[in-house]
Structure 1
Amino acid sequence: MRLGRTPLAAGLLIGLVLTAPGVATADPRPTVKQAKAKLERLNNRADKVVDRFNTLNEEYKKARTRHTRLDASYKRKLKTVEDLRADVVGMAVSDYKLGGDVSSWPGMFGNPDPGRTLGALALAGQMQAERAEKLAAFDRENKGLKVERDRAQEALVVADGERDKVEKERAEILDLVKDQKKLLERLGAYNAGNPNSTGTKYTGPASGNARSALQFAFAQTGKPYIYGGTGPRGYDCSGFTQASWRAAGVSLPRTTWQQWAWGANRKVPLDQLQPGDLIFSQGLGHVTMYAGNGNIVHAPQTGDVIKVVKLSAYGKSIAGAIRP
């Protein structure tokens, strides 16, 4: 009887294992809608991290530029100090060789023209004093410059470290987005876009530099969304708005957070939107451009292209808008 019950128990156990959720049964193949929804959730996370990385990267580049400038200036002034020091020493040595100890009475009386010797000595002394004062001034200035250069070096190290911390998080999220991209490709829902797209013509109601910005923006439609992209073959959301307004002669900062901060005194109510206004999502993970007639143009997310959609279909909660 024991032998007969063992297979039965084993069979029951196997049945339980096979029917245990998530153990032996395969996950159902997600639909296109589910895949896109998951991708959007990942992109919302990634937008914030990548934008934070871009912001820190901009700060790093500024710190590096400042350090490079100060370091070059410090080295130039150091060279000037060395040259002045050499001049002062050289003059002292030259005076000694020409007149021996010309300040001594024997040296003066032994010279055929003592008056001339005194004049030369006075002139040499004056020149030495002037150069010595210059040397002292440059030394003082150089010490201050060195302190500033060293502080810039410290700021550069800190900026580099902060950027590296975010880079790790950014890399992890980009790996997840890459997986979602493969999923969309398998489902036939991935739009690679055309980096050489000439877009469409803007025919909306914008005027002035806003029209120039939107003409550029519409000419980019069909190009792919690319994380960190600043053109011309693809853009991320803030890279796209920056490039569009740059074409209109307006210089925007690089990232969504920086653009929002830049426009702190340029905010406009959503019921007073005008073409060219920038619209920011809650959390500042995304930015779009209002095109007029209820439309926006933007670089949406991985697996999609720069395109024009209805503001009502945007789907993200809105933090506010600014007018460049």
Structure 2
Amino acid sequence: MTVNARHRRPRARKSTKLALGAAAAGTMVLVPSVANAEPQPTIDQVSAQLNTLYQQEAHADEAYNAAQAAQATLQQQVDGINGQISAEQANMNQTKTRLGGLAAEQYRNGGIDPTLQLMLQANPSTMLTMSATVGRVTANNADTLALLDQQKADLATKAREAAGKMALLDQQVKAAESTKKQFDGDVAKTQALLNSLQAQQRAALLAAQQKQQAAALAAAQAASQAASQHSTSGSSGSSSGSSGSSGSSGSSGSSGSGGSKVAIPSVSGRAAAAVAFAQAQIGKPYIFGATGPGGYDCSGLTQAAWKAAGVAIPRTATAQMQGLPAIPASSAQPGDLVFFYGDSSYVDHVGMYIGNGMVIHAPHPGSSVEIVAVSTMPLVSYARP
């Protein structure tokens, strides 16, 4: 009667499925085939197409992670039901053993009805004793059998329900994987076109990306320094950290996108362990659905970083946003989580804030963990584990 719990993957909730369908339907094909003779799109067009596909890929990744989390929860429920079924089966076996003993006793007595046996007893006191015993045994066994029958029926219903849910979740995960393959194909096509560009064009695209990232980081740091100076001048002799930092004056250099050097405010406590872990992952590849140690997706990185600090947080970006206390941007400190691309009900991306308007994140397929300015992506909210 044990439910087969070998399923390994589930599907995201209904709303996620609909969102995936919308994303798939909205996939644009702006990039022509490399093999044809049509004019190549401009560098800006290629970059825009990549950004669109990467966001869609992030949506598929988030849906896949949600499906896996749902499957893990349901697997625990199924395991619990299987344990209950095993316990009830053991109880039923014990009851059958007791009933078998009574049957054997009746067989040894020639199958005589207990009531008739009582009537044949010569000693009245013995007859009364046997009458009470038989009554109790009969009543107890009847109640036990009725209870176990009901429990067996209830558990069987639960087992069927759990098995049905496992089958549904398995179908949903397969759909999420299918969507992932579709987006992987789209990204591969666009990447192939990028690779087909002339060396000079590729260099121009890379230079433009690095320039944009460096400008964003410089602007974030300048704004943070200005806020810090304003705060220092407003408090007699006190020294405060930059807006969104831990209030510590120490900082260290770290490479961000394109090799730019950025100053990271120091931080203490569990947040320090989380930030240190995230920093140590810089340069590791983005891997769809991964939680390390060889690579990460966005929420896999933030979850692993806080796990290293001894704090358990949800698996997906949306669950992290909804399950952790929200904080205003003005109160953000290193170690806080920053959510992008979405709204208050659903997000596709998350990174770890490290102060000075910067975030460590795992961007998208084909990239690696890096430091970028918060301003380079559409911000939704902040939360603190």
TM-score bucket (shorter structure) = 0.7 to 0.9
Aligned position for 1:195:
none
Aligned position for 2:326:
267
Aligned position for 2:121:
108
Aligned position for 1:211:
272
In structure 2, relative to structure 1, the CA distance for the partners of 1:72 and 1:182 (3 Å cut) is farther
In structure 2, relative to structure 1, the CA distance for the partners of 1:300 and 1:103 (3 Å cut) is same
Residue 369 (structure 2) aligned to one of 306, 311, 323: 306
Cα shift at 1:59: 1.3
Cα shift at 1:47: 0.5
Cα shift at 1:35: 4.4
Superposed counterparts of 1:280-295, under 5 Å: 280-283=339-342, 284-295=347-358
Aligned position for 1:278:
337
User: What is the total number of aligned residue pairs between the two structures?
Assistant: 287
Residue 237 (structure 1) aligned to one of 289, 298, 306: 298
Distance of 1:69 and 1:183 partners within structure 2: 51
1:27 pairs with 2:39 = yes
Note if contact 1:54-1:228 (Cα within 8 Å) is conserved in structure 2.
Answer: yes
Aligned position for 2:4:
none
Note if contact 1:246-1:252 (Cα within 8 Å) is conserved in structure 2.
Answer: yes
1:99 pairs with 2:109 = yes
Distance of 1:180 and 1:24 partners within structure 2: 14
Aligned position for 1:58:
69
Cα shift at 1:223: 0.7
Residue 154 (structure 2) aligned to one of 138, 141, 144: 144
Distance of 2:89 and 2:192 partners within structure 1: 57
Cα shift at 1:224: 0.6
Note if contact 2:264-2:355 (Cα within 8 Å) is conserved in structure 1.
Answer: no
In structure 2, relative to structure 1, the CA distance for the partners of 1:288 and 1:267 (3 Å cut) is same
Note if contact 2:282-2:370 (Cα within 8 Å) is conserved in structure 1.
Answer: yes
**1:58 is matched by which residue type in structure 2?**
A
**2:380 is matched by which residue type in structure 1?**
A
Rg larger in 1 or in 2?
1
Cα shift at 1:54: 1.7
Distance of 1:91 and 1:130 partners within structure 2: 15
Query: Aligned-residue CA RMSD in angstroms?
Result: 3.3
**1:231 is matched by which residue type in structure 2?**
G
Note if contact 1:281-1:317 (Cα within 8 Å) is conserved in structure 2.
Answer: yes
Cα shift at 1:209: 1.2
In structure 2, relative to structure 1, the CA distance for the partners of 1:215 and 1:159 (3 Å cut) is same
**1:253 is matched by which residue type in structure 2?**
P
Cα shift at 1:132: 3.1
In structure 2, relative to structure 1, the CA distance for the partners of 1:185 and 1:24 (3 Å cut) is closer
Distance of 1:83 and 1:96 partners within structure 2: 19
Cα shift at 1:182: 4.5
Distance of 1:114 and 1:178 partners within structure 2: 94
1:257 pairs with 2:318 = yes
Aligned position for 1:194:
none
Distance of 2:174 and 2:125 partners within structure 1: 72
Cα shift at 1:122: 4.1
In structure 2, relative to structure 1, the CA distance for the partners of 1:46 and 1:282 (3 Å cut) is same
Aligned-pair identity (%) = 29
Cα shift at 1:170: 2.1
Cα shift at 1:130: 2.5
Cα shift at 1:241: 0.5
In structure 2, relative to structure 1, the CA distance for the partners of 1:98 and 1:226 (3 Å cut) is same
**2:337 is matched by which residue type in structure 1?**
L
**2:350 is matched by which residue type in structure 1?**
V
In structure 2, relative to structure 1, the CA distance for the partners of 1:55 and 1:81 (3 Å cut) is same
Note if contact 1:50-1:170 (Cα within 8 Å) is conserved in structure 2.
Answer: yes
**Aligned-partner SS, 2:360:** strand
Aligned position for 1:40:
51
Note if contact 1:181-1:302 (Cα within 8 Å) is conserved in structure 2.
Answer: no
**Aligned-partner SS, 1:234:** coil
Could you list the runs of 5+ residues in structure 1 that have no partner in the other structure? Answer: 1-20, 192-199
**1:234 is matched by which residue type in structure 2?**
G
Deviates more, 1:204-213 or 1:222-231: 204-213
**2:159 is matched by which residue type in structure 1?**
R
Distance of 2:68 and 2:177 partners within structure 1: 10
Instruction: State TM-score, norm by structure 1.
Output: 0.76
